[in-house]
């Protein structure tokens, strides 16, 4: 049995754990890949410091991530705390932990292939984004409206960031059903993905 829950990536540890405990899953899946888990979550589980590279990531995804991380630090927020704490909960409770997202290195490769005008558009959006706090952005966001805007303004980026990734996520969720028959599987995803992924899963 598959259960999807949507988050805004800013949930506190208590909020995400409450959601998980209500569902009482036997398996937890998260919108992460092995690469991101190894870099960002595993050090937390093993009580190690997260390694920081001297050189900033200058890819488009890297620039977006850098802006979000800087804003999160200033606002004393852990962006991605929903995924981090879902992983930690799974490990602490000896539950199988599965990663359903496309590898971040592949995402970066794809995003570097989008047209220059779309890349510049993203950079302009980042400038506007810097004027809002992360909490304001999360509280006031209409996920469906944002995705429709992204699809219209940046169709190729939308294809890579949303369509391709969601196809991978659906494929990986279906694999989990086969891997854990008769188990309750909870998959934690960003809210914006829930509707389309639920519709895709109904087709199978």
Domain ranges of the chain: 2-202
Contact 96, 28 (CB under 8 A): yes
Summarised one tens digit per residue, pLDDT across range 97-111 is: 999 999 999 999 999
**What is the C-alpha to C-alpha distance for residues 26 and 16, in angstroms, rounded to an integer?**
16
Which one is predicted more confidently, 85 or 136? Answer: 85
Provide the pLDDT for residue 54. Answer: 46
Express each pLDDT in 60-91 by its tens digit: 888 888 888 888 888 888 888 899 999 999 99
Residue 127 pLDDT class (50, 70, 90 cuts) = confident
Determine the Cα–Cα distance for residues 184 and 33; give it in Å rounded to an integer: 21
pLDDT at res. 144: 83
Confidence check: pLDDT of 53 > 60: no
Vertex 172, ends 109 and 110: CA angle to 5°? Answer: 10
């Amino acid at each position: 049995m598959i259960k999807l829950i949507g988050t805004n990536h800013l949930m506190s540890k208590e909020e995400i754990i409450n959601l998980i405990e209500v569902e009482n899953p036997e398996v937890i899946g998260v919108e992460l890949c092995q690469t991101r888990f190894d870099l960002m979550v595993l050090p937390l589980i093993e009580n190690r410091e997260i390694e920081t590279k001297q050189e900033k990531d200058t890819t488009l995804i890297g620039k977006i991530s850098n802006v979000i991380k800087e804003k999160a630090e200033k606002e004393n927020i852990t962006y991605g705390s929903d995924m981090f704490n879902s992983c930690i909960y799974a490990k602490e409770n000896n539950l199988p932990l599965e990663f359903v997202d496309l590898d971040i290195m592949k995402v970066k490769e794809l995003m570097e292939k989008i047209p220059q005008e779309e890349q510049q558009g993203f950079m302009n959006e980042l400038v506007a984004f810097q004027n809002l706090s992360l909490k304001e952005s999360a509280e006031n966001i209409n996920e469906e409206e944002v995705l429709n805007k992204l699809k219209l303004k940046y169709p190729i980026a939308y294809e890579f960031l949303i369509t391709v990734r969601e196809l991978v996520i659906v494929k990986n969720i279906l694999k989990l059903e086969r891997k854990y028959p008769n188990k309750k599987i909870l998959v934690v995803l960003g809210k914006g993905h829930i509707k389309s992924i639920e519709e895709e899963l109904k087709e199978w």
